[in-house]
Structure 1
Amino acid sequence: MNANCLLRRPVGCLKTALRQTRHQRLLTRSMATAVEKPEAPPKSSARAKPPFKLPKPAKFRPEGKPLFYVWPQVESIRTTHKNPMPELDAKQRATLDPTGARTRLFDITRPMPPSIRRRGVDTAILVRSQLMKVGVEMWYKIYSPTVIGIDIVWRRPKRARRARLTYMRKPKHDMGNVDHLVYAWKKERYGMRARAKGQVGSRFEKEQK
């Protein structure tokens, strides 16, 4: 027998099978059917019925349920009662500062260099000095009865660009001890009092007398 024929026969059968499947695929691709237009439903004058719905159980129906009354909104306390704090603050200031000198001295419209904590009658100022060559700071309430008077001992000829106390804490701008300024101010005041005995040196000493 010819060995080459035996080897080629299976390959020839495979080629034939692949060729047939290729032709069948082409036939299926080329086949097409005409699309028929659906017929329009007949027009009827009657209204279309809604879709069927299952009825709700009796416990979920609105019949026989109690009605809820909507009450009007309660007025806010801000509309019925005005804020009493401004009147109370004005009354306390009139008691603690009858002349209004301290209020005008630390008014918000005046540019003041010290650090001021504005809290109504609890308004306080932060004062810095030196004690045994150590910087010391302390808050003083301007309306406190223990504070007899508040006087400006010395005014700077030219106001600093940054007058906040946090800036004045730096060694470059720290004033240091101010006892010499206080001594000069007291000396000047006592000299003026000696010239005119009827004149009081501090505006707050009048209140105490």
Structure 2
Amino acid sequence: MITQSTRRPLSSWKAVLRRCHQQRQQQQQQQRIPMPFRTMATETTPTQPAASSTPPPPSMQPQKPKFHAIKTNLPHKPIRTAFAVYPRVPSARKSCPAALESYHAQQIRRLDRTGARTALFSKANPDAAKPGDVLQVSTRKGGGEPFAGVCLSIRRAGVDTAILLRNHVSRVPVEMWFKVYSPNVAGVEVVWRRPRRARRARLTYMRRAKHDMGNVDHLVDAWRRTRNVFTTKGKGGSGQAGKGVRGGRR
């Protein structure tokens, strides 16, 4: 028992001395090497910036803080305190905009040069079209008749902004999606506005028989009469009922 207790500290000292000896040998080997050991990261990273590298934009460069001092009326202590006021961190969204958002903005400027369609479905515009309004869309391809219906939802997705219209054709419910910025869409007009704002963004409950508005042709006819679209046959006039010039589009 006594011999074992005396051998344990000797074994631990041997391990410590062996480790010190190994460290001393490593230091001697490092002193013999003329050049310091360089890793892969230090080899690939240049020590000096290249002349061809472009500096970062001014918005991304670090700005120095400004010191704000509060003066006092005491002669022996003219400044009560001074603290640094750091500038606001620049927004990464403004300095480096997303590629998809830039592409959508470019396509919208090309397809909607006047900005009328963008304003018609903008949330910031108080007179914009909202879900529940009756809209009429006229197309250019094929020269078909305009389609009017209740706007069930507005999908705002940049250049892919679309509206869903619902109407009854020959007592059959019909729903159609229209791309607002599509070249085939000649114009979008607001026929009738909902008296009260809808409490939902998607009026899918109007598909039920209880809330369905049915055919909206009577609203379209009343809207055309107010805009003097129909002309009447008067004395000495050669006009024909049902023909007229369509009013300006938004």
What's the TM-score bracket when you normalise by the shorter of the two chains? Answer: 0.5 to 0.7
CA distance in 1, matches of 2:231, 2:109: 29
What are structure 2's unaligned runs of at least 5 residues? 1-12, 47-91, 132-150, 233-244
RMSD after superposition: 4.0
The residue that corresponds to 1:53 in the other structure is 18
Q: How does 1:61-140 map to 2 (within 5 A)?
A: 63=30, 66-68=37-39, 69-70=41-42, 71=44, 83-110=98-125, 112-113=130-131, 114=151, 115-140=153-178
Q: Per residue, is there more helix in 1 or in 2? A: 1
Name 1:186's counterpart in structure 2: 224
With over 3 angstroms needed to count, the CA separation of the structure-2 counterparts of 1:136 and 1:192, relative to structure 1, is closer
Rg (Cα) greater in structure = 1
Quickly say closer, same or farther: Cα 1:184–1:172, change in 2 above 3 A: same
Classify 1:127/1:88 alpha carbon distance in 2 versus 1 (closer, same or farther; 3 Å).
same
Task: Quote the offset at 1:165 in angstroms.
Answer: 1.8
Paired AA for residue 136 in structure 1: V
* Larger relative strand fraction: 2
Q: Deviations over 1:32-91 (max 9, x none)?
A: xxxxxxxxxxxxxxxx9993325559xx99746942143559xxxx89965444443333
Change (3 A) 1:181 1:51: same
Once the two structures are TM-superposed, the CA of residue 117 in structure 1 deviates from its matched residue by 1.3
SS at match of 2:17: coil
Aligned to 1:150: 188
Shift of 1:166: 1.6
- Secondary structure class of the residue paired with 1:159: coil
Taking only the aligned residue pairs, the percentage that are identical comes to 46
Aligned residues: 149
Deviation at 1:93, TM superposition (A): 1.8
Q: Deviations over 1:78-116 (max 9, x none)?
A: 899654444433332222112111100100224722411
| Distance of 2:225 and 2:164 partners within structure 1 | 25
- CA distance in structure 2 between the aligned counterparts of 1:177 and 1:193, rounded to whole angstroms: 24
- Aligned residue identity for 1:96: L
Contact 1:168–1:174 (Cα < 8 Å) also in 2: yes
SS of the residue corresponding to residue 113 of structure 2 reads coil
Structure 1 residue 143: deviation in Å? 0.7
Which residue of 158, 163, 167 maps to 2:205? 167
Per the alignment, do residues 191 and 129 of structure 1 end up closer, same or farther by CA in structure 2, a change over 3 Å counting? closer
Task: Give the deviation of 1:123 after TM superposition.
Answer: 0.7
| Paired residue secondary structure (1:139) | strand
- The 1:56/1:136 distance shift into structure 2, 3 A limit, reads farther
Q: 2:179 aligns with which of 132, 141, 145?
A: 141
